[in-house]
Amino acid sequence: MELEILKEKFYRLVAPSLPNEWDVEEALSGLTLDDAQQIEEIFAQIPAIWPVSHSLCFSYLSAAGPAVACLAPEELSLWVHGLLDCYETKGLRGAQLFMEDVAEHFLRQIRGQGGLRLADVRPRLQTYVSGLAGRELPLVAAEAAATDGESIFLPAEIGLYADQERNFLFFKLIASFQWACLHAGVFAAQPGFPSGKKKAHPLERFFSTFARPDQARSLYHFFETARVLAVLKKELPGLMRQAEPLLGQLTLSADDSQELTLLDHLQQGLLRDEWPEPGRDGRIDQARLLLDACRGASVDNRASLEAVHALMPALEPEEDLTRTEPMPFQGTLLLQEMRNLGLQQQTSRELRMMQSLTVKLHAGPRPPEA
């Protein structure tokens, strides 16, 4: 009897739609009429969800009972708003995952216990980044921070800190770092780079000259990170003064490792100024000198390339630098995407040149003046 009453109420709300009765019954089966006020609150959200997606609405009704048990009356509409945002950005499966754990995915957020979402700060952050770059560099949510030259990819959420002010500052630092990678020429090719696959990025060809290209790539990324941080201190001193305490508090791979790699030592030295005693490890002493050279090389990436050349022969055969995770603000290098962009831009330039020549040929020579 209860189910029939709920069905009738549901059909009135979605009229003139006539959804499959089995789908309706399955979605409503977890609800009861024991708390009439609760049912009214749940059903009041249906008109906002049904036009967006019928499947989403059925999923909402299935999850609404347990959700309402966790939510204060005024929080239900906020939860539905978050659900619709999630559906728009992550699709039906993402929205279903959002509804699975209300406490984890929603309550922590609105009660100031969760992370800061990129979606909530994008307008403010986008204005900042566009001003830095002098052009539009769209901010896109992704698994890891990166740039392909046309966009900057950032984590969908940052929850490293208890307060949102520091989480926003970290967003700002990551976005600034990716911009600075472009500004400082991290992806630039230098004269004399090895030839190879035409469609491969020149840096990939450089890394492939070593027996373990992935180790060379990790070293290059670190030394360029040190150089980019030095560039940021010159270009954005105010930001870096604010961010300096955050950098020193970041969790590093070395914190959970018994055996430290060369890269672990370098990360600890860069962010915390923690180094083994001089003379204990010649490789680290050499790496410190190379690091100082990179920090002073704001013009281009030559010092980082030289550091890779110098240190690769010194790596132990069993040493795996890829075990050392990038520092949380570093992100990843999208070399192939940068190469693809370069090829597209080259093709566009050639096409414009051909079109210009065609116009000149059609115009023909000018007649002699009388």
- Write down the pLDDT at residue 131: 95
- Write down the pLDDT at residue 295: 92
- Give the chain's end-to-end CA distance (angstroms, integer): 101
The helix/strand/coil state of 158 is: strand
Q: What is d(CA 3, CA 22) in angstroms, rounded to the nearest whole number?
A: 12
Per-residue pLDDT of the chain (370 residues; tens, 9 = 90+): 588 899 999 999 999 999 999 999 999 988 876 778 888 999 999 999 999 999 999 999 998 888 887 787 778 888 898 889 888 877 888 888 888 877 655 666 555 556 788 998 999 999 999 999 999 999 999 989 999 999 999 999 998 887 788 999 999 999 999 999 999 999 988 776 666 666 788 899 999 999 999 999 999 999 999 999 999 999 999 999 999 999 998 999 888 888 899 999 999 999 999 999 999 999 999 999 999 999 987 778 999 999 999 999 999 989 999 999 999 999 999 888 877 754 444 444 445 555 555 555 555 555 565 5
For residue 104, what is the DSSP state? I
Contact between 93 and 100 under an 8 Å Cβ cutoff? The reply is no
Q: What is d(CA 180, CA 311) in angstroms, rounded to the nearest whole number?
A: 25
Q: What's the sign of the alpha-carbon dihedral 228, 233, 236, 238? A: positive
The helix/strand/coil state of 141 is: strand
**Token digits for 259?**
């055996």
- Write down the pLDDT at residue 104: 59
- Write down the pLDDT at residue 160: 85
Which residue bears the tokens 């190379």?
290
Helix or strand holding residue 15 (H, E):
none
- CA distance to 185, 230, 292, 308, per residue, from 299 (Å): 8, 11, 14, 18
- Write down the pLDDT at residue 163: 79
- Which strands form 139-142's sheet, in the order they lie side by side? 139-142, 152-155, 146-147
Q: What is d(CA 291, CA 303) in angstroms, rounded to the nearest whole number?
A: 9
Residues counted in the chain: 370
- Write down the pLDDT at residue 49: 95
- Write down the pLDDT at residue 282: 93
Cβ neighbours of 216 (radius 10 Å):
23
- CA distance to 46, 49, 95, 159, 174, per residue, from 109 (Å): 23, 22, 16, 10, 21
Q: What is d(CA 326, CA 129) in angstroms, rounded to the nearest whole number?
A: 23
Q: What is d(CA 295, CA 297) in angstroms, rounded to the nearest whole number?
A: 6
- Write down the pLDDT at residue 343: 44
Q: What is d(CA 263, CA 326) in angstroms, rounded to the nearest whole number?
A: 9
φ, ψ at 222 (rounded to 5°): -65, -50
- Write down the pLDDT at residue 50: 95
- Write down the pLDDT at residue 357: 56
**Token digits for 79?**
């939860």
List, as one string, the DSSP characters of 175-237: HHHHHHHHHTTTTPPPTTPPP--TTS-HHHHHHTTSS-HHHHHHHHHHHHHHHHHHHHHHH-H
Q: Kindly report whether the global pTM for this prediction surpasses the value 0.85.
A: no
- Write down the pLDDT at residue 201: 87
- What is the dihedral angle through the alpha carbons of 206, 211, 212, 216, rounded to the nearest 10 degrees? -40
